[in-house]
Structure 1
Amino acid sequence: MTTLQPPDAAQHPGATATAHHLRTLAFIGLGAMGWAMCGHLHRAGYALRVYARDPLKRERARGCGMHVCDSPAQAARGAAFVFSNVTSTPDVGQVLLGADGVIHGAEAGTICIDHSTIAPAGARDFAGQLAARGLSFLDAPVSGGEKGAREASLSIMVGGEAEVFAQALPLLRLLGSTITHVGPAGCGQVAKLCNQIVQVINIEGLAEAMRFAAAEGADLPRVLQAIAAGMAGSRMLDLMGPKMAARDFSAGIQARLHAKDFGLAAEAASQAGLQLPALRVVRAQLDRLMALGMGSDDTSSLLRVLEAP
């Protein structure tokens, strides 16, 4: 496993301070995903300066030996890299650029890495504003869910300058098993939304197939067994098919998160003047799922939307 190597203090004057700086990271946002990712960095020997709005999450971090800060700006002070993992585009803007944001505490040369799923246009805007203050930005959304975060097996899609990506890569390898530099700022978010479009349209197709099979009186597990061996086979079928057949709608991935991401994809498509009919239809199904109060359940609940009167 690769980590950043500080310079040899015996050979380089002032290297002790430099080494300490390189080994100091900030992490903002300690939800289920952020906490697992932060833990991997901490166990790799980095000093963590962290911030979370929830006092219970702050206490948990303090109990693990992390330095708990009162704001994103304070967390960024002295950190070579600042990670963030929050919910929405406005949340990221507040964390990075707000009155107590990272931009007011980070030193020139600091690299900000955001793992949130946000609008591509927002990521490009944040990169530009940070660059004006001498800070670098990578939009690095992830796929793999909480399980992938815990196991450090996430797929990480990265937008930003190639040179900055190369500097961050050793750290990203502590968090994921597949790290892809997609292109300039915003391209990581584009790739993530492409991932969501393919993934959730697939789930909707599976839900419709299961609804059809049940209406025709077929045995759902046997139908799944039959089609999994053909061209319909996919990782999503393997994951969601058995859940639908067993009517297990406990959240692996909460539907509300897919609904949020589909909203971002629909907005970006509209701004680009694109007609994406499958995206539009599935977004309507996700909106109905939310209206039925199933947002905290698994996205396999799209089957229940089809069953609802």
Structure 2
Amino acid sequence: MQKQELGFCGPGLMGAPMIRHLLGAGHAVHVWNRSRAKADALVSDGAQVVDAPAALAQRADVVLLCVADGAAVEQTVFGEHGLLSGTGTGTGIRRVRRIVDHSSIAPELTRELAARAAALGVGWVDAPVSGGVAGAQAGTLAVMAGGEAEDVAAVAPILAAYSARVTHMGAAGAGQTTKLCNQAIVTATVAAIAEAVGLARRSGIDAAKLPEALAGGWADSTLLRTFVPRMTQAGLAPIGALKTFQKDVDTVAAAAQQTGTPMPVAGTVQQILRLGAAMGLDQADLSGFVDVLQTPRQG
């Protein structure tokens, strides 16, 4: 495909390997991060670091975001020295024509931000991903996209550098709604795996053998094979913080309320995650469900 000059905001656990795939595909990538050290770490891979998001808007036709939450997205795009602020470092003419948001934020906020960008002549694609850090590193992420069909088609070849597929789900916000569906399934499943690990342990069997015992059965899954080792072994590198799950499940709950959708399982998961935060586990690995549920036996 045609090589492009791209901007990328947010080279974190997910963003950094995505940027490396873009560089590997031959794109020029200009990177910004609130804490500069994470951006500087990519210079040896060929990335060019800028001092503010506004500088990306002057250097790239497409800018991709992978930041923490809705407030961070809004600040990065419309805040002081933001992508579309009209201020910031440099005096060049704004080049950016499309923004691709890989962050997981509320659909309602996405629609609002997309409308504000459209008023400035900039297309918006909400493109949250699934596959975790391993998928980002392998370049096999699943991208669920919302936005105008023309904009999604235009950026799909770029996203192919680190994704196995891009599915256009509908208008702005549809990608984020699809990600909420994904997170409702993921968080409920990880909570169930934590319960199963607890039951196995208290029943005197080796919980670490559950993936082997259940392989090929209905309970077998990528999540089972990923999280049982993380719940039964120490010293594994974290793949994310439990607070990320809490943010997403809180957004699921808000969407359920807005749409009148009964989601009792998601509601229970939300309470488990709130308990985890109260226990000081919000920074724990995503497998921290098992620690929340390890209450002492009674009797």
TM-score, length-scaled by structure 2: 0.89
Aligned: 1:127 with 2:104: no
Q: Deviations over 1:169-222 (max 9, x none)?
A: 110101211221111111111111111110110111122122223223334345
Alpha-carbon shift at residue 127 of structure 1 (Å) = 0.8
Bigger mean CA deviation after superposition, 213-222 or 229-238:
213-222
Counterpart amino acid of residue 187 in structure 1: A
1:39 to 20, 35, 53: 20
Q: Which residue of 1 aligns with 2:123?
A: 136
Q: Deviations over 1:144-180 (max 9, x none)?
A: 2222212211111111111111111110101211221
For residues 219 and 49 of structure 1, the distance between their equivalents in structure 2, rounded to whole angstroms, comes to 48
Bigger mean CA deviation after superposition, 49-58 or 180-189:
49-58
How do 1:109-258 residues align onto structure 2 when only pairs under 5 Å count?
110-246=97-233, 251-258=238-245
Alpha-carbon shift at residue 251 of structure 1 (Å) = 2.2
TM-score, length-scaled by structure 1: 0.86
For residues 221 and 108 of structure 1, the distance between their equivalents in structure 2, rounded to whole angstroms, comes to 52
Q: Where does structure 2 lack aligned partners over 5 or more consecutive residues? A: 87-92
Aligned: 1:277 with 2:258: no
For residues 162 and 74 of structure 1, the distance between their equivalents in structure 2, rounded to whole angstroms, comes to 27
Bigger mean CA deviation after superposition, 192-201 or 205-214:
205-214
Alpha-carbon shift at residue 57 of structure 1 (Å) = 2.6
Q: Which residue of 2 aligns with 1:49?
A: 30
Residues 250 and 297 in structure 1, CA contact (< 8 A), matched pair in contact too: no
Structure whose alpha-carbon radius of gyration is higher: 1
- Taking a change above 3 Å as real, the CA distance of residues 128 and 308 of structure 1, as seen in their structure-2 partners, is same
Q: Which residue of 1 aligns with 2:63?
A: 82
Instruction: State percent identity of aligned pairs.
Output: 35
- Taking a change above 3 Å as real, the CA distance of residues 289 and 76 of structure 1, as seen in their structure-2 partners, is same
Residues 65 and 101 in structure 2, CA contact (< 8 A), matched pair in contact too: yes
- Taking a change above 3 Å as real, the CA distance of residues 299 and 56 of structure 1, as seen in their structure-2 partners, is closer
Alpha-carbon shift at residue 80 of structure 1 (Å) = 1.2
Residues 251 and 296 in structure 1, CA contact (< 8 A), matched pair in contact too: no
- Taking a change above 3 Å as real, the CA distance of residues 164 and 308 of structure 1, as seen in their structure-2 partners, is same
Q: Which residue of 1 aligns with 2:247?
A: 260
Residues 141 and 189 in structure 1, CA contact (< 8 A), matched pair in contact too: yes
Q: Where does structure 1 lack aligned partners over 5 or more consecutive residues? A: 6-22
RMSD across aligned positions (CA): 2.2
- Taking a change above 3 Å as real, the CA distance of residues 78 and 227 of structure 1, as seen in their structure-2 partners, is closer
For residues 75 and 227 of structure 1, the distance between their equivalents in structure 2, rounded to whole angstroms, comes to 48
Q: Deviations over 1:107-141 (max 9, x none)?
A: 47701101111111111111111011110000011
Residues 23 and 45 in structure 2, CA contact (< 8 A), matched pair in contact too: no
Alpha-carbon shift at residue 265 of structure 1 (Å) = 1.0
Residues 8 and 32 in structure 2, CA contact (< 8 A), matched pair in contact too: yes
Aligned length: 290
Bigger mean CA deviation after superposition, 175-184 or 52-61:
52-61
Counterpart amino acid of residue 206 in structure 1: I
Counterpart amino acid of residue 223 in structure 2: M
Alpha-carbon shift at residue 242 of structure 1 (Å) = 3.4
